[in-house]
Chain A
Amino acid sequence: MSLLQVKDCSKSFGGVLANDHISLEVPEGQIIGLIGPNGSGKTTLFNSVVGYHPVDAGTIEFKGQEISHLQVPQIARLGLLRTFQQTRIYGKMTCVQNMQISVPHASERLAEMFTSFPAEVQEKADAILEFVGLYSKRRLLAGDLSFGQQKLLEFGMALMNQPRMLLLDEPTAGINPTLINGIIDRLKRANAEFGITLLVIEHNMRVIMNLAEHIYCLAHGKLLADGAPDVIRNDQRVIDAYLGAH
């Protein structure tokens, strides 16, 4: 059974149909890509999945549980996490604090809210900071990091949260091309070593073809095509959508 299953999902904003009966499936343990020209409804679909807005029609199931009626924090606590296109971190806190507060909150009891973090959390934060290459900056305020470093930190925070599945909104946008390979590598390792299923929005074709095992392509709010990277790469409809032929 798939980890995430979107069925016939529709969402419109004041007459503009941003998602029109979209269905997709993300099997456990895989890396799935989501591509499409600007304005094709990728981010809307992400927002629907993580609960930012209610969907107009359709169902979204995570681990077999219907989640389209749940609020954002509830969905996050189920283990379905997202990162933002405009990177978001806690700017006035240090990197370590950013990591610590990202521990899973699913089983947090009232009394636990007033305790300090145990030593394991500290060690894990350090380990993940090392994994994303920010260990030496751990005492700096996150807001003082460069954009690329913030992106890495946000990814690290997501790992800290031990999600079952991670939705990444353009993980390489605005990143120095030499760093992109590092990011691809870390995403693959997160998938392989931590067992996190990934759903990735990406504009950079080289990245997504390299990363994903299966790709969905959206255009004008509709699902245009889906298949293995090679199939998508040679699909005439996908090429037309990207090059603007109608």
Chain B
Amino acid sequence: MDNLQILLDAPIFSVQLLIDGLLVGAIFALVAYGMALVWGVMNIINICQGEYVMLGGFITYLLFSWGISPFVGIPVAFVVLYLVGWLTYRVVICRVVEQDLFISILATFGISILLQQLMNQLFTADVQTAEAGLGTAFLFNNMVTVPWVKVVGFVLALSVGVVLVLFMGRSRMGQAIRATAQNARAARIMGIDTDRVYAVTYSINAAICGAAGALVVMTWVVQAFQGLAYTVRSFMIVVVAGIGNLPGVVVAGLGLGAAESYAGFLLGAEFQTAFIFSLLVVILLWRNYRLRAQRKVLR
């Protein structure tokens, strides 16, 4: 708690933490948007969400190690993860999509373990990063440093989000997805190929995660076992915001980024993971406690 004193003595650190947190929070919001999409449309909580982020990160890192700019990694990871998502849907997800929720949680948990161990074998458990080389901005008499790549990442994350929202609102496929989300059976009766809708939804989600992973490896690091933390972050954001609430997802994502940034500083980096997972427990209990006044439970 010594760091609290520092924070009180020099409030400018607060600005630094807030900016860091908000910039990374946009990426959290992007991944959470994908999770909300799959959850809302397919009624699946995708536990391997974080592994898709990690996969996108490693693809970008691989390109980077071959001398290709990490920015190229964003579209490449998007496309590759779309294919990975499609394949996963065809092999596994389509068989669990209309089953008990716990079955799909466990199946995607299995995929998550499979992918993290696979990456562990291929890339070892070391931490990797891909330097975009954009330099750093200095604000407030050099008291606050902002790497440009984080700003670019923030903007790109929001742009991907905007494109997706437009796709959902304007395109035929987007309409079909929204219709399926509201009532899959009715959509099927009205001639929508829900199987295809599910495949596209799941693949788009994987692709979003891939793009987010590319941003993560540029602004931060990628590591084989980091996936679950991203899954849990997305889950928390969706639980706080609600499934169909896009502005809520953005606000909750940015908020989580800021909260993590402060927690990392105050508690020390070694408690960062502990903070995320404890926060998950606390948020769920708190939400449920609030509902108890109306004699309801989270479901």
Contacts and interface: CB of A to CB of B under 8 A. Distances in A.
B244 to A, nearest CB: 16
Interface string A64-79: 0000000110000000
Interface string A58-94: 0000000000000110000000000000000000000
Interface in A20-75: 51-54, 71-72
Contacts of A72: 295
A52 B295 CA distance: 7
Interface string A156-199: 00000000000000000000000000000000000000000000
Q: Which one of B293, B294, B295, B296 has the highest number of Cβ atoms from chain A below 10 Å of its Cβ?
A: B295
A211 B222 CA distance: 70
Nearest to A52: B295
Interface residues of B, number: 4
A17 B193 CA distance: 39
Contacts of B296: 53
Nearest to B296: A53
A72 to B, nearest CB: 7
A71 B293 CA distance: 11
Interface in B48-67: none
B100 to A, nearest CB: 12
Nearest to A51: B295
A245 B149 CA distance: 68
A54 B294 CA distance: 6
Contacts of A52: 295
A130 B244 CA distance: 50
B292 to A, nearest CB: 10
A56 B296 CA distance: 15
A51 B294 CA distance: 10
A82 B101 CA distance: 28
A54 B296 CA distance: 10
Interface in B248-299: 293-296
A54 B292 CA distance: 10
A7 to B, nearest CB: 20
Contacts of B294: 53-54
Contacts of A53: 294-296
Contacts of B293: 54
Contacts of A51: 295
B14 to A, nearest CB: 39
A72 B294 CA distance: 12
B208 to A, nearest CB: 32
A53 to B, nearest CB: 6
Interface string B15-46: 00000000000000000000000000000000
A71 B294 CA distance: 10
A163 B204 CA distance: 54
A51 B296 CA distance: 11
A32 to B, nearest CB: 25
B294 to A, nearest CB: 6
B71 to A, nearest CB: 47
A54 B293 CA distance: 8
A53 B292 CA distance: 10
A30 B183 CA distance: 42
Interface string A10-25: 0000000000000000
Nearest to B295: A53
A220 B91 CA distance: 51
A62 to B, nearest CB: 17
Nearest to B292: A71
A71 B296 CA distance: 11
A52 B293 CA distance: 11
A209 to B, nearest CB: 35
A230 B261 CA distance: 72
A15 to B, nearest CB: 16
A52 B294 CA distance: 9
Interface of B: 293-296
10 contacts: A51-B295, A52-B295, A53-B294, A53-B295, A53-B296, A54-B293, A54-B294, A54-B295, A71-B295, A72-B295
Given A53-B296, A54-B293, 8 more contacts: A51-B295, A52-B295, A53-B294, A53-B295, A54-B294, A54-B295, A71-B295, A72-B295
Enumerate the 3 nearest inter-chain pairs by beta-carbon distance, A residue then B residue, closest first. A53-B295, A53-B294, A54-B295
